[in-house]
Copies of this chain bind each other. A is one copy, B any other.
Amino acid sequence: MKNNLGRNIPEGKRVFISSKEYLHHERHLIPSKIKSEKVRFFASLEEAFLDCKIQSGMTLSFHHHLRSGDFVINQICNLLEQYKIQGISLAPSSIFPEYNIASLINSGSINNIHTSYLNGPASEAIAKGLLKGNLIMQTHGGRARAIESGELKIDVAFLACPTVDHMGNGSGAYGKSACGALGYGMSDLMYAKKVILVTDNLVDKLDSYQFDHGYVDGVVKVDSIGDPSGIVSGTTRITKDPVGLKIASDSAKLIEELGLLKNGMSMQTGAGGISLAVADAVKKAMIRKNIKGDFASGGITGYHVDMLKHNLFAKLYDVQCFDLLAVESFRNNKNHVGISASRYANPYEKDPIVDKLDVVILGATEIDTSFNVNVTTDSFGKIIGGSGGHADTANGAFVTIITSALSKARIPIIKNAVTTITTPGEDIDVLVTERGIAINPKRTDLLDLLVNSKLTILKIDQLLELSHKICGVPKTPENTDKVIGYVEYRDGSIIDSLYQSR
């Protein structure tokens, strides 16, 4: 069975039709109940774990706000091994290389994984076909949708929480493991059958919090929930690479030529070096033209905080903080607003933030001549990332810009067909490389605005040829045809399959 993008989809799965298909379907919501019972305080994580009576077939979830510094998921995995529990579905919002789950995949303790980002040893184990069930790669907004619709049923959510008060309210803003916003844990909090907060900082009373005790069943105090150096960067930095800076500068000029640099503008950029360089170039242009924007959103860094402080944006809508300056601003500034993954990117949320974006700057591992983007696998099919908010923001934003060097490690990033589709080409509007800019031909409105552009506007095929001239035509590696998982589009339909490595 093939979906609308020509990708093979196993029988019985919902096929991807288009990025607008969700508009024809109603929102599904399972009830989320405020609990009337008092929050229980456990003496140890093991006691809480045992109280949850975890058994084969259950789904356990986690958020990834402690990123590579997270101790909670590892401790729960240790307990799964210790108690020899088999057949667990794991649903963390992301999986970092530091998470010790590869051995649990090998042993059959974990046999299904739902996540939005995956990198490291677990990915290698899955690529070898060791996961007995499936790997489902979701978008950030799609994960929230799946949880609240009951499609992804969570039995127990173990939610790391840097500070918890005596009522059971939780905040990411305070404590030695402060990580800032807790946006990716909100759906788990509200819809998991059982919710355990794991903290290393118990306080008497929080004045503000993201996790309301009404949704919490239990709290565990542990010595440490994470390694601060892995939770947030001290600082995030703009690229110093001249290719990256050229791309950033051209992106900022393009944004201006497209008329997007205007009062009330909204923007999202990631925390990568080129993205931050674009943010910095846009910032300078905003100051020069005295522009007051509406908001910046997504993962937030010190660069965004600086723009808020200079009133370049009225608000920051923050699902996760990337560095210490972002955490500090989230703690202190009311216009630095924490939002849930649902509010951020759930297609069925009323007015999600992504739908209000004028422009989003995204990366790509591969992009093809139909503008489909892959950020899920490398060209050998190995999983090295995932959508995160990629497909969500690309769909929501008025203009979606991919920034990338024309080749990485002498491999052209433009393909005739991407190895894996993460985000459909219909939602990608522009590719900015150091050698030229390609506009998706369906965006005739943008092409009209660029008739007299001083930038190098080329067709994507021309950029492909150019890269082939520079790097040569790469071999197309082939995977086996054994399906090991799926890439779910934000509406839950299958946009591509994932295959075992050869």
Residues of A participating in the B interface, judged by any CB pair closer than 8 Å: 34, 173, 204-205, 207-208, 315, 317, 331-337, 339, 350-351
A335 contact set on B, CB distance < 8 A? 332
Give complex CA distance A101, B380 in Å: 79
Give complex CA distance A304, B406 in Å: 55
A205 contact set on B, CB distance < 8 A? 350-351
Q: Which of B173, B207, B332, B337 contacts A207 (CB 8 A)?
A: B337
**Secondary structure class of chain A's binding surface, majority of residues:** loop
Give complex CA distance A339, B207 in Å: 8
Question: In chain B, what residue has the closest Cβ to A214?
Answer: B34
Contact A208 B351 (CB under 8 A): no
Give complex CA distance A332, B208 in Å: 14
A333-B334, A334-B331 in contact; A207/B315 too (CB < 8 A)?
yes
Give complex CA distance A244, B145 in Å: 62
Contact B34 A208 (CB under 8 A): no
Nearest Cβ on chain B to A190's Cβ, whole angstroms: 14
Contact A351 B204 (CB under 8 A): yes
Nearest Cβ on chain B to A354's Cβ, whole angstroms: 14
Give complex CA distance A336, B173 in Å: 15
A207 contact set on B, CB distance < 8 A? 315, 317, 337, 339
Most buried by B among A331, A335, A339: A335
A315 contact set on B, CB distance < 8 A? 207
Give complex CA distance A317, B205 in Å: 13
Contact A337 B34 (CB under 8 A): no
Question: In chain B, what residue has the closest Cβ to A331?
Answer: B334
A331 contact set on B, CB distance < 8 A? 334
Give complex CA distance A336, B332 in Å: 9
Question: In chain B, what residue has the closest Cβ to A317?
Answer: B207
Q: Which 7 A-B pairs rank lowest in CB-CB distance, beginning with the nearest?
A: A207-B337, A332-B334, A334-B334, A332-B335, A333-B334, A331-B334, A205-B351
Give complex CA distance A424, B501 in Å: 81
Contact B337 A208 (CB under 8 A): yes
A351 contact set on B, CB distance < 8 A? 204-205
Most buried by B among A204, A208, A332, A334: A334
A334 contact set on B, CB distance < 8 A? 173, 208, 331-334, 336
Nearest Cβ on chain B to A168's Cβ, whole angstroms: 14
Additional A-B contacts beyond A207-B339, A332-B333 (16; CB < 8 A): A34-B34, A173-B334, A204-B351, A205-B350, A205-B351, A207-B317, A207-B337, A208-B334, A208-B337, A331-B334, A332-B334, A332-B335, A333-B333, A333-B334, A334-B334, A334-B336
Nearest Cβ on chain B to A212's Cβ, whole angstroms: 11
A317 contact set on B, CB distance < 8 A? 207
Nearest Cβ on chain B to A213's Cβ, whole angstroms: 13
Give complex CA distance A491, B241 in Å: 69
